[in-house]
Homo-oligomer: A and B are copies of this chain.
Amino acid sequence: MKVHGRNVLKEILATNTPVKMIYFSESGDSELKQLIEKVKNKKLPFTVANKKILTKLCNYDKHQGVVIDIGDFKYKDEHVIEKFDNPFLVILDQLQDPHNFGAIIRTAVGAGANAIIIPKDNSVKVTPTVIKVSAGTIFKIDIIQVVNISRSIEKIKKLGIWVYGADMNGTKYYKADLKKPIAIVLGNEGSGIRKLVKEKCDGFISIPMKNSIDSLNVSVSAGIILFEVMRQNESIDS
């Protein structure tokens, strides 16, 4: 998979994410030259090519002079959850929009979540757009792909993790106990969390709203809820 952009490369370098090849454009500015120096020092494979070749490689002209071939994106296996100390998980039940997924990844990393769990079928996957919208923060979190979300929730609950679904009929999010270990389930953009997945949740939380608005963009809802989890756990973490 070929991803692009300077922030993406910076996060790849900061997290020592493996790369197959890094393509830089010729005649770059001083920031680009610094990035090439860093890549040299880390002994990573790179090449310098014409801008247009980079555009061809990533099918996009706003690549900022950087295209990175990261090979296949590596999803994690759900067994990694067992290794987390006091886990904070995000479960996305059939999310569809890559911009929402990218924004939720960035938000989850900022709020200190350990992993994001998505189903293999009927779900957005990790694509170059998702990585770009995440501003490269995807390399700081585990993305777990599972066959069956309901069955995964069952396993997660056995690990002593409390599972909350975001649903308009739930408790006000700031009146719920969101202490870790915790998992937050967010549903599809149009239809929310599926019935069978809901049945597995331990409880539900909602965001109260004015002006007869019944929902927010899912990445905004994710921000409000995940940062409330961080806030409630702040005194424990710091």
Write the residues of chain A forming the contact surface with B, with a CB cutoff of 8 angstroms: 14, 99, 103, 106-107, 109-112, 133, 137, 140-141, 174, 207-213, 216-217, 219-224, 227, 230-231, 234
In the complex, what residue of chain B is closest to A222 when comparing beta carbons? Answer: B220
In the complex, chain B residues whose CB is within 8 Å of the CB of A140 = 211, 213
In the complex, chain B residues whose CB is within 8 Å of the CB of A223 = 216, 220-221, 223-224
In the complex, what residue of chain B is closest to A174 when comparing beta carbons? Answer: B231
The A interface is mostly helix, strand or loop, or mixed, namely helix
Q: Given the complex of chains A and B, what is the CA–CA distance between A209 and B216 in angstroms?
A: 22
Q: How many copies does the complex hold?
A: 2
The answer on a CB contact under 8 Å between B109 and A213 is: yes
Given contacts A223-B221, A227-B224, contact A213 B106 (CB under 8 A): yes
The answer on a CB contact under 8 Å between A110 and B213 is: yes
Complex A-B, nearest 8 residue pairs according to Cβ-Cβ distance, in ascending order: A112-B210, A220-B223, A110-B213, A110-B209, A223-B223, A103-B217, A109-B211, A224-B227
Q: Given the complex of chains A and B, what is the CA–CA distance between A211 and B141 in angstroms?
A: 10
In the complex, chain B residues whose CB is within 8 Å of the CB of A222 = 220
Q: Given the complex of chains A and B, what is the CA–CA distance between A110 and B221 in angstroms?
A: 11
The answer on a CB contact under 8 Å between A210 and B109 is: yes
Q: How far is the CB of A141 from chain B (nearest CB, A)?
A: 8
Q: How far is the CB of A161 from chain B (nearest CB, A)?
A: 19
Given contacts A112-B211, A210-B112, A211-B112, contact A107 B216 (CB under 8 A): yes
In the complex, chain B residues whose CB is within 8 Å of the CB of A216 = 103, 106-107, 110, 223
In the complex, chain B residues whose CB is within 8 Å of the CB of A220 = 103, 106-107, 219-220, 222-223
Q: Given the complex of chains A and B, what is the CA–CA distance between A133 and B219 in angstroms?
A: 13
Q: Given the complex of chains A and B, what is the CA–CA distance between A174 and B224 in angstroms?
A: 12
